[in-house]
Amino acid sequence: MDEQSRMLQTLAGVNLAGHSVQGGMALPPPHGHEGADGDGRKQDIGDILHQIMTITDQSLDEAQAKKHALNCHRMKPALFSVLCEIKEKTGLSIRGAQEEDPPDPQLMRLDNMLLAEGVSGPEKGGGSAAAAAAAAASGGSSDNSIEHSDYRAKLTQIRQIYHTELEKYEQACNEFTTHVMNLLREQSRTRPISPKEIERMVGIIHRKFSSIQMQLKQSTCEAVMILRSRFLDARRKRRNFSKQATEILNEYFYSHLSNPYPSEEAKEELAKKCSITVSQVSNWFGNKRIRYKKNIGKFQEEANLYAAKTAVTAAHAVAAAVQNNQTNSPTTPNSGSSGSFNLPNSGDMFMNMQSLNGDSYQGSQVGANVQSQVDTLRHVINQTGGYSDGLGGNSLYSPHNLNANGGWQDATTPSSVTSPTEGPGSVHSDTSN
């Protein structure tokens, strides 16, 4: 109504003389510039304008009656035509300033994110990348498949809500647009409304609804981010490693107690075997070194246990090697690559035991001194098979690898055993520190 009033005010104040109108009728000049003949027409136009101007102050019935009277007035076609012309001219200038809005960068960002997360666009296991990353971060154990599906389920839920809401908005937008268009078409019978003006109005409505949609997209993005951060937050979802994984890590730790710093390759192998990540292996060793050093006494029993286990495995390995040597090699027992103390690959017993057991440490060349285990093995061999489990007072392992400063010694020369293939004091490849 504002625009209408404005235009009518313009009409009322502007000299319309000279405008040709439908039916070859010229509009009368305004008041004060006419002769006696024009006074009648002036009065007519003045009346019409007054009626239009006061139409909002009247009751509905009155207004309807006046509207009808206006529609039937003989001057209506002429006025209507002039109004159309003026509106077209003013409309052009307004459109020129408003059209061709550039795409909103924020909206584009939101759209891209929703697409990347699999919320919008075709459904093809959206968010699987995030879920996979989280699975890797949290250890890749069987729990992850549960968490993965949990994540997917929640994402699907968000997706459904998003699409339902979006559909609702679009439906409401269409309904409202249709309604407004109908209203405008209806009104166009009584006041000049061009199709372009209707189009512009539709554009305004769509812009309003798209701003609402943007809010929806924003909150959906937030929901996805929260879900993702919760899922990816390993600390929040801390799970203890499996017993088997801890066993493997402990075996490595205690069999490399003189230098418990696995190389990158060893970490990768351990990670693979334990179904955890390399950084988790690093964390584990970091924690283990610190906690072991802080409380050696507490870990003594554990150390003995793993030393014993290692010794048993090693004894089997050595027995097998001896047997192999007896059948295959006529040379001196300690020469060459086999023999009673000629441990394969020069003393990285853990690795070699794994190899002998058919595990995957072969070829990884993860060197570390294992003096304690070699000592243990010697002990076992010297006892000619009289192996004690090491838990009953006679400790198989003594924590002699920590130096006075509390740091680990660098792969020191074993006091009683010299590796046949390695010189004294040699440092293995896993001295990553």
Partner DNA sequence: GCCCATGATTACAA
Partner DNA sequence: TTGTAATCATGGGC
Name residues contacting DNA, limited to 258-277 (CB under 7 A): 261, 264
- The reply to whether 287 sits near DNA by the rule CB under 7 A is yes
Helices (H) and strands (E) in the chain, counts: 14, 0
Report, in Å, the least distance between residue 311 CB and DNA. 22
Query: How far is the CA of 141 from the CAs of 215, 283, 290, 375, in angstroms?
Result: 38, 17, 26, 36
In this chain, which stretch among 55-63, 284-292, 348-356, 383-391 interacts with DNA, using CB under 7 A? 284-292
- The reply to whether 208 sits near DNA by the rule CB under 7 A is no
- The reply to whether 407 sits near DNA by the rule CB under 7 A is yes
Q: Both tokens of residue 313?
A: 């495995």
Report, in Å, the least distance between residue 148 CB and DNA. 16
- The reply to whether 406 sits near DNA by the rule CB under 7 A is yes
89 or 238, CB closer to DNA?
Answer: 238
13 or 406, CB closer to DNA?
Answer: 406
In this chain, which stretch among 201-209, 281-289, 353-361, 374-382 interacts with DNA, using CB under 7 A? 281-289
In this chain, which stretch among 73-81, 203-211, 280-288, 372-380 interacts with DNA, using CB under 7 A? 280-288
Number of residues lying near DNA (CB under 7 A): 29
Report, in Å, the least distance between residue 403 CB and DNA. 11
How far apart are the C-alpha atoms of 261 and 410, rounded to whole Å? 10
Angle at 293 between CA 428 and CA 140, to 5 degrees: 70
- The reply to whether 236 sits near DNA by the rule CB under 7 A is yes
Q: Both tokens of residue 326?
A: 């007896």
Report, in Å, the least distance between residue 359 CB and DNA. 21
46 or 399, CB closer to DNA?
Answer: 399
Report, in Å, the least distance between residue 365 CB and DNA. 17
- Residue from 146, 226, 290, 296 touching DNA (CB under 7 A): that is 290
- Residue from 229, 283, 394, 416 touching DNA (CB under 7 A): that is 283
100: exposed, middle or buried (Cβ count in 10 Å: 0-12, 13-18, 19+): exposed
Report, in Å, the least distance between residue 302 CB and DNA. 9
- The reply to whether 367 sits near DNA by the rule CB under 7 A is no
CA 396 to chain centre: 50
- Residue from 286, 336, 363, 425 touching DNA (CB under 7 A): that is 286
Report, in Å, the least distance between residue 261 CB and DNA. 5
First-to-last CA distance in the chain? 81
Tell me the β-bridge partners of 26: 20
Residues counted in the chain: 433
- The reply to whether 234 sits near DNA by the rule CB under 7 A is yes
Gyration radius from the chain CA atoms: 45
In this chain, which stretch among 157-165, 286-294, 342-350, 366-374 interacts with DNA, using CB under 7 A? 286-294
In this chain, which stretch among 18-26, 146-154, 215-223, 400-408 interacts with DNA, using CB under 7 A? 400-408
CB-based contacts of 70, cutoff 8 Å, min separation 6: 48, 51, 52, 76, 190
Q: Where are the alpha helices (DSSP H) in 233-340?
A: 243-255, 264-274, 278-294, 296-328
Q: Both tokens of residue 93?
A: 């200038």
Q: Both tokens of residue 330?
A: 């006529």
CB 315 within 8 A of CB 380: yes
406 or 423, CB closer to DNA?
Answer: 406
How far apart are the C-alpha atoms of 193 and 83, rounded to whole Å? 9
| Enclosing H/E stretch for 67 | helix 60-72
Name residues contacting DNA, limited to 120-159 (CB under 7 A): 138-139
How far apart are the C-alpha atoms of 59 and 64, rounded to whole Å? 8
- Residue from 73, 289, 378, 400 touching DNA (CB under 7 A): that is 289
- The reply to whether 56 sits near DNA by the rule CB under 7 A is no
AA identity, residue 24: G
- The reply to whether 237 sits near DNA by the rule CB under 7 A is yes
For residue 70, give the nearest of 45, 39, 41 by alpha carbon.
45
Report, in Å, the least distance between residue 128 CB and DNA. 21
Using CB under 7 A, list all residues that contact DNA: 138-139, 234-241, 246, 261, 264, 279-280, 282-284, 286-287, 289-291, 293, 406-408, 432-433
